[in-house]
Copies of this chain bind each other. A is one copy, B any other.
Amino acid sequence: MSIPLMNVPLSGERVHVTYRLAGDEKLAHEKAAALVLEQTVEFPAELVPAGDIREKIVGHIVAFERADENHFTAVIDYAAEITGGELAQFLNVLFGNSSLKPGIRVEKFELPPALLEKFRGPRFGRAGWRARLGLPKRPLLATALKPMGLAPHALAELAYQFALGGIDLIKDDHGLADQPFCPFRERVEQCAQAVARANRATGMQCIYMPNITAPADRVIANARFARAAGAGALMIAPGITGLDTMRLLADDDSIALPIMAHPALQGSFVTHPDNGISHYALFGQLARLAGADASIFPNVGGRFSFSRAECASIVKGAQVKMGHVKPIFPTPGGGMSLERVQDMLELYGREVIFLVGGGLHTHSPNLVANCRAFRKMVEEF
């Protein structure tokens, strides 16, 4: 049979994706040549029909250069229309099948204006969230309610102490879901009330940020419940729910709360430098495109292994110009102690949320005093 050609004109707008390819020049170029087919027509080159499909639907290698001794950088562009103007299919074009091939990493991407317009991105971003909190300048201070196993009233008591001590954002630990020993609704109600009670005592505006990560049919319901109960922001793990579920949450006008992305289950994208998606693109660009207002990642020097350079790259991805898509807060978690605050302020600057966990508990036996000491350090910056 002869395969009919498509007859829908394309705009000419193209998505640019930069890939890092491991191997010598020959192998790396083979990988680039495979990418333009694999991410589009998935067809052997000789079978691709001539005309628009071969010329415009198949990706184009627009740059190819050596990055270091055994790596090359290829910039490939794709017709904007193949993404269908949606995040799910954009992810598929970006890295769907090629994620299955070793030695290919997505470094960064650029969307043309007409495609960017399809994405609302973060509803608040840095400036919007700061305005809500009445905190125009200094870094924000966050902590987590833990450990898993505590009943709602015990977590609420912790939340009260943190709020009393001047923490800005109190989130659920990401392991708090809807367990029988700590049901979601009870926890959210009690913690939100505890934080409100502390705010009445302090006159501050601490917010409670529950983890709404849940089965696919309960995420939005959890968010609505949390909002009604008094939560001031929401945390979700897009590696578990899918990035587009976070996008849906961010786009929902009936929820309209700031969103913090947690990196659970996303680690395999970044654990090997030859594979996956760069820290910059994953925790910066993609988190923003999917509507996060803040993006948690493991801080350098903690119990994880992100390097200082990787953390710095996330800061860049969180604020690189992406049309109207707002810059967001990098949120380094873990590895923070009072002794390291100065160093972290140098690395991250003031447009950051510091997420302090164990450090708040270990500094001294007085939790409220520890919170105040952290806050003082940050306020003095």
Residues of chain A whose beta carbon lies under 8 Å from any beta carbon of chain B: 1, 3-8, 10, 34, 38-44, 47-49, 52-53, 56-57, 81-84, 86-89, 91-93, 95-102, 144, 146-151, 153-154, 157-158, 161, 173-175, 177-182, 213-217, 237, 239-242, 244-245, 247-248, 263-272, 274-277, 298, 303-306, 357-358, 361-362, 367
Contacts and interface: CB of A to CB of B under 8 A. Distances in A.
Contact of A147 (B39, B57, B216, B242): B57
Number of copies: 2
Contacts of A1: 157-158, 161, 367
8 contacts: A6-B149, A49-B149, A89-B214, A97-B174, A97-B264, A99-B266, A101-B271, A102-B271
A263 B1 CA distance: 30
Closest 8 CB pairs of A and B: A99-B267, A242-B242, A100-B267, A96-B264, A41-B147, A8-B181, A53-B149, A57-B149
A179 B86 CA distance: 9
A146 B271 contact: no
A213 B89 CA distance: 8
B96 A265 contact: yes
A86 B214 contact: yes
Contact of A150 (B53, B148, B240, B245): B53
B264 A43 contact: no
A102 B304 CA distance: 9
A265 B84 contact: no
Nearest to A173: B42
B146 A100 contact: no
A81 to B, nearest CB: 5
A306 B361 CA distance: 46
Given A96-B174, A268-B269, A102 B149 contact: no
Contact of A148 (B41, B240, B277, B303): B41
Nearest to A304: B100
Given A89-B213, A268-B268, 12 more contacts: A4-B150, A6-B150, A6-B151, A34-B303, A42-B147, A43-B361, A89-B175, A98-B267, A100-B266, A100-B271, A241-B242, A268-B269
A220 to B, nearest CB: 9
Given A157-B4, A213-B92, A175 B42 contact: yes
A81 B180 contact: yes
A47 B89 contact: no
Contacts of A358: 43-44, 47
B88 A241 contact: yes
A178 B84 contact: yes
Contacts of A271: 99-102, 272, 275-276
A178 to B, nearest CB: 5
Nearest to A248: B216
Nearest to A95: B265
Nearest to A178: B84
